[in-house]
Amino acid sequence: MRYALHKIPVFLLTLWGAITLNFLLPRLMPGTPSEAALAKFAGMGPVSPSQLRAIQATLGVPHGSLISQYGQYLNDIAHGRFGISYTYFPEPVSKLIIQALPWTLALVGTVTILAFIIGTLFGVLAAWRRNKLFDTFATVSCTFSSAFPYFWTGLLFLFVFGFVLGWFPIKGGYGASMSPNMSFSFFGNAIYHSLLPAGTLLVSGMGGWLLGMRNNMIPTLGEDYVIFAEANGLPSRKIALRYAARNAILPNLTGFGMALGFVVSGSILTEVVFSYPGVGFLLYNAVINNDYPLMQALFLIITITVLVANFLVDLLYGWLDPRVRR
Amino acid sequence: MKDSPGFAKQIVARNKFKNTSRKSGTKRIATLVAVAFTVAACGSTATSTVKSTGGGSMTIGVDNGSPTLQKNFNPFSSNMRIGTTYMYEPLEYVNTLNGKFTPFLATGHHFVNNTTLQFDIRSNMKWSDGKPITASDVVFTFNLLHKYPALDVTGIWNHLNSVTSSGNVVTFHLNSPDVPFAQIIAQTLIVPQHIWASIKNPVTFTNNNPVVSGPYVLSSFNPNQYILKKNPNCWQASHVAVPKLIFPAMSGGQTSQLQLSRNAYSWATLFVPNIKQSWVDKAPKYNKYWFPPGGSISLFLNLAKAPFNNLTFRQALSDGLNRQTIATKAENGYVKPASQTGLLLPGLKKWLNPSYPNKGVPTYNVAKAMKLLSSIGYHKNGNTLLSPNGSPVKFSIIVPNGFSDWISGAQTVGHELGRLGISVTVSTPQFAAYQSQLQTGQFQAAFGSIGGNGNPYLDFHNLLASSLTAPIGQSTGVGTNYERWKSTKTDALLNQLLVTTNPTLQKKAVYGLEKIMYTQLPVLTLFYGATWGEYSTKSYTGWPSAANPYAPPAPYGDPPIMIMTHLHKRA
């Protein structure tokens, strides 16, 4: 308990720092939101003076000094007000995030957990049977798959399975003639649309866990207590999972905490490649359009989730590894 | 440049990854991706998830989702769905290729004097809910824009003093003589008073059930696709041949180009690297395209900075550019080199002073360029051009990130100027940063687009008016005179166009402005930026084309109402 109490002030200080950075960073970007909004018109031909004037009148930004904007910002956060998006004007930021979050949580969240479980278990297996056929195959293929950039794997999958073979839809979270609702046909359609992006994420994400787990586990298997357990005739599955893996998993668990926190940020590249209606796409759009309110709200949510996830992992650490409690 | 209208052009908003691409700047292509897809598309036998248009409906590839579509049919919102422009009508349609007016809600207009303008509103028209369309709807619309400046995207109330109606006649009282302003009034979309009068905040109003005057009404809306159907109450319903329009959410270059090559669209606005292979060859009998000029892509030189403030230096740069090579490399040979007169040809040919050789497209002449440079003290040391004070001549061109055609054009400019010994770097900031550098004058050279209004006054005014510029370090604000051209003679000529309705005097003033463009080189025009338009004549014919240029072939903006009332069912 004292261990947990110790962690709280650090947590709060980090949170304040993150919130403040979150305010400053978007404002350090070159250009203003109304200039970014012009990009849409520039694509359709030369921009006239009146268009810029009307956009500035619509967005009404930015106003006030940096200090007063900061005060306003803290006040709004305290009251849970995130304002209206510039990019998706006049949609409120909170509505956009609420619409996008379930898609990302379902896709990226599920895949992150699956990738961690599968990757870690395969890592244990590869270490236990090191230098056997499975280990060689798994290590080599994972080294490859985790070295490929996400979006590259995504484009490859999209092209091969979506376009050439035509097995999966190439874009979107659901079919063109559907609106989100609670019916089975909608869920089926949404799951069908998610298979390809999920496959991409799984292939790219699993390798890291597998390699990490395998490499942590191999030295652990040489520890005296493992040899002692073997000498005592304990079943190998018990030795592998209860003794060796429990100790070897600690670094992976830290990474998992981070990864879980980042789930809410979506997987920007994957979502953009597949036009998936999640938070990653929203974030991408917010950044390219200098959409301060949307960016701030998204960064805030991401920051808080990562901090909370890390805090929880810290606590979990204390339970898994008695040494850190001291 | 951007995403198809949206991410228009390729990945992004020329199709906005964003979106959307439309005009040339719009091609935002992740080049690699686009190329990969295009190549791949050629041999594919995959079945499409999108069916070709059939049963009389038409699928239009123009509206970019981000990635889904937000419902917004407010015709004054910068975020409106493109379909809005198929539903609301202006007083008159103005063809931005040649400036020709076609009556819509008004039957015509005339100047009572040069500050008083009258439009005659057509009688016996109905809104889509059956209520009559009257002159008071027109007055109401203009007053709405007055009350809410955020809706006034064309800056009407900077010119307008008041608007009144009497019977079928609407009278506009202008602040000062402003003849070209008739076009801006004519192009304003008119909304029904009985609906909009009770809207509390028209700026944030998303108009989910649009009541309209035009050819189409909203039929259904989903986040990935919406459908418009024919409006039986439209005053010219008998001219509307297509019963149903389908707008799928586009997702940028990657998939849009694939879809185009699968004949998924009957009408689209995409930049594709090889139009013949990826569109025409898919149905050679029906798949047509037309890419008329929508602007002149130009090299803006910062005239407030040396050495660009020196006319001889600018002249040398101009002579050192092979515009044909630049146009071919940037736009895959789809467009022609631009006339240095600033006019978009052939659309505005009636304004062109016939005395310019080659219609005002400058001749490429490196020897002459070198001679001009040495006449002002520049000389070459090996492959490097040295300025009179002995330092090497180099500058950088800014081009918005993702505008792949412009970037390739700027690189070619750099290559061409390399022959003069000038070292050019191309820098590609994000659009907002690019825009900000233009406004504050913190650039040496930049790529930009000029013209495209169909009206020489508006084109030259936006580019050259002293009132639209600012000293370096200060923002031009809403001004677009980024090159910082200041000339009392130019302003006098522009003013002449404001006050006169006499065609001879108008022509004389335009000739004067052409001469300034041609001899003083405030910007170097390079090549025409295309309005991309791919369409299928399989079910419907009567599309605009070079032979019948009644509108640009754009499925967004003003042209749709014109085009949708000119198509016929294939016999």
pLDDT of B536 reads: 95
Residue B499 bridge partners (DSSP) = none
For residues B286, B231, B203 and A93, what is the CA-based torsion angle, rounded to 10 degrees?
-60
> Taking CB atoms and an 8 Å cutoff, what residues of chain A touch B400?
39, 42
Residues of chain A by 3-state class (helix, strand, coil), percent to 5: 75, 0, 25
> Taking CB atoms and an 8 Å cutoff, what residues of chain B touch A54?
78, 149-153, 155
Please determine, for the modelled complex, whether the ipTM score is greater than 0.90: no
Searching chain A, which residue's CA lies closest to the CA of residue B74?
A: A90
* Cβ–Cβ below 8 Å for A43 and B13: yes
Mean pLDDT over residues A157-170, rounded? 84
Alpha carbons B337 and B10: distance in angstroms, whole number: 23
Q: Which of B443, B24, B434, B14 is nearest to B256 (CA)?
A: B14
Round the CA-based radius of gyration of chain B to a whole number and report it: 24
> Taking CB atoms and an 8 Å cutoff, what residues of chain A touch B435?
31, 35-36, 38-39
Query: Over 50: is that where the pLDDT of B46 sits?
Result: no
Which of A54, A87, A271 is the closest to B152 by Cβ? A54
Which of A37, A43, A276 is the closest to B20 by Cβ? A43
Candidates B32, B45, B79, B453: best to mutate against A (most CBs of A within 10 A) is B79
| Max mean pLDDT range (A7-11, A106-110, B492-496) | B492-496
B45: confidence class by pLDDT, cuts 50, 70, 90: very low
pLDDT of A60 reads: 62
pLDDT of B210 reads: 96
Query: Over 60: is that where the pLDDT of A23 sits?
Result: yes
> Taking CB atoms and an 8 Å cutoff, what residues of chain A touch B13?
39-40, 43
* Cβ–Cβ below 8 Å for A45 and B77: no
3-state secondary structure B396-464: EEECCCCEHHHHHHHHHHHHHHHCCCCEEEEECCCHHHHHHHHHHCCCCEEEEEECCCCCHHHHHHHHH
> Taking CB atoms and an 8 Å cutoff, what residues of chain A touch B224?
172, 174-178
* Cβ–Cβ below 8 Å for B251 and A281: no
* Cβ–Cβ below 8 Å for B223 and A89: no
Q: Hey, CA dihedral for B178, B181, B186, B191, is it positive or negative? A: negative
What angle (nearest 5°) sits at the alpha carbon of residue B90, between those of residues B85 and B96? Answer: 80
pLDDT of B110 reads: 94
Query: Over 80: is that where the pLDDT of B29 sits?
Result: no
Burial class (CB in 10 A: 0-12, 13-18, 19+), A34: buried
Alpha carbons A62 and A254: distance in angstroms, whole number: 40
* Cβ–Cβ below 8 Å for A275 and B557: no
pLDDT of A58 reads: 67
Count the residues in chain B. 571
Our CA-based measurement puts residue B462 at a distance from the nearest CA of chain A, in whole angstroms, of 7
Give tens-digit pLDDT for A167-208.
888 778 887 777 777 788 888 888 888 888 888 888 888 888
* Cβ–Cβ below 8 Å for A176 and B248: yes
* Cβ–Cβ below 8 Å for A171 and B6: no
Candidates B18, B278, B300, B436: best to mutate against A (most CBs of A within 10 A) is B18
Residue B297 or B436, more confident: B297
Give tens-digit pLDDT for A263-318.
877 678 888 888 888 888 888 888 887 788 888 888 888 888 888 888 888 887 77
Alpha carbons B270 and B225: distance in angstroms, whole number: 18
> Taking CB atoms and an 8 Å cutoff, what residues of chain A touch B64?
none
A1: confidence class by pLDDT, cuts 50, 70, 90: low
B126: confidence class by pLDDT, cuts 50, 70, 90: very high
Query: Over 80: is that where the pLDDT of A326 sits?
Result: no
* Upper half-sphere CA count for residue B264 (Cβ side, 13 Å): 21
Residue B25 or B153, more confident: B153
Query: Over 80: is that where the pLDDT of B26 sits?
Result: no
> Taking CB atoms and an 8 Å cutoff, what residues of chain A touch B453?
46, 48
Our CA-based measurement puts residue A57 at a distance from the nearest CA of chain B, in whole angstroms, of 5
Count contacts between A and B (CB, < 8 Å). Answer: 238
pLDDT-wise least confident of A74-88, B179-193, B400-414, B527-541: A74-88
Is the peptide bond between B471 and the residue preceding it cis, with omega within 30 degrees of 0? Answer: no
| Contact predicate B65/B422, CB 8 Å | no
Alpha carbons B14 and B37: distance in angstroms, whole number: 17
* Cβ–Cβ below 8 Å for A49 and B20: no
pLDDT of B154 reads: 82
* Cβ–Cβ below 8 Å for B480 and A32: no
Query: B356-365 b/e with 16+ CB inside 10 Å = b?
Result: beebbbbebe
Query: Over 80: is that where the pLDDT of B15 sits?
Result: no
Searching chain A, which residue's CA lies closest to the CA of residue B152?
A: A54
Mean pLDDT of chain A: 82
B28: confidence class by pLDDT, cuts 50, 70, 90: very low
pLDDT of A106 reads: 87
Our CA-based measurement puts residue A90 at a distance from the nearest CA of chain B, in whole angstroms, of 5
pLDDT of A44 reads: 53
Q: Which of B102, B123, B110 is nearest to B171 (CA)?
A: B110
Give tens-digit pLDDT for B215-241.
999 999 998 899 999 999 999 999 999
Query: Over 60: is that where the pLDDT of B25 sits?
Result: no
A61: confidence class by pLDDT, cuts 50, 70, 90: low
pTM: 0.83
* Cβ–Cβ below 8 Å for A43 and B468: no
Query: Over 50: is that where the pLDDT of B41 sits?
Result: no
A73: confidence class by pLDDT, cuts 50, 70, 90: confident
pLDDT of A182 reads: 79
pLDDT of B19 reads: 32
pLDDT of A325 reads: 67
* Cβ–Cβ below 8 Å for B478 and A56: yes
> Taking CB atoms and an 8 Å cutoff, what residues of chain B touch A275?
65, 67, 249, 251-252, 255
Which of B3, B204, B429 is the closest to A90 by Cβ? B204
* Cβ–Cβ below 8 Å for B13 and A56: no
Mean pLDDT over residues A235-264, rounded? 83
Domains of chain B (ranges; CATH) run: 44-85+214-292+531-571 (3.40.190.10), 88-209 (3.90.76.10), 295-530 (3.10.105.10)
